[in-house]
Amino acid sequence: IAGITQAPTSQILAAGRRMTLRCTQDMRHNAMYWYRQDLGLGLRLIHYSNTAGTTGKGEVPDGYSVSRANTDDFPLTLASAVPSQTSVYFCASRDRASTDTQYFGPGTRLTVL
């Protein structure tokens, strides 16, 4: 069982380019989340999805979009990257059926130049 995987591990991107960060979980959790982590600011919620077919906005959604076509995948897209989107991005899924625990992926380190 892999848990949650994210790809790529890291990426350097030119400003203005489009980028999709991939997230896949094999635990059949209904809820999934995207966070960005910046020094001194902790983890900030970008978008979330309570179940396949639904999505919602978090604290910092501007410049990002998500989709949830199925239970396992929750990609995050930057339509036109800007330097302020340089960050470490974590995907997470939540076991709301039992322990309510969130499980995090290993993260994607994104640098926008």
Partner 1 sequence: GQQVMQIPQYQHVQEGEDFTTYCNSSTTLSNIQWYKQRPGGHPVFLIQLVKSGEVKKQKRLTFQFGEAKKNSSLHITATQTTDVGTYFCAPNFGNEKLTFGTGTRLTIIP
Greatest CA separation for the chain? 42
The minimum distance between CB 54 and partner 1, in angstroms, equals 10
Binding site residues, partner 1, CB under 8 A: 31, 33, 35, 40-45, 48, 50, 56, 58-59, 90, 92, 94, 99-107
SS3 per residue for 31-72: EEEEEEEECCCEEEEEEEECCCCCCEECCCCCCEEECCCCCC
The minimum distance between CB 111 and partner 1, in angstroms, equals 16
Nearer to partner 1, 17 or 57 (CB): 57
Decide if 51 contacts 4 (C-beta within 8 A). Answer: no
Could you give the CA distance from residue 25 to residue 18 in angstroms, rounded to a whole number?
23
The minimum distance between CB 94 and partner 1, in angstroms, equals 7
Nearer to partner 1, 8 or 16 (CB): 8
Nearer to partner 1, 17 or 28 (CB): 28
Nearer to partner 1, 83 or 106 (CB): 106
The minimum distance between CB 108 and partner 1, in angstroms, equals 11
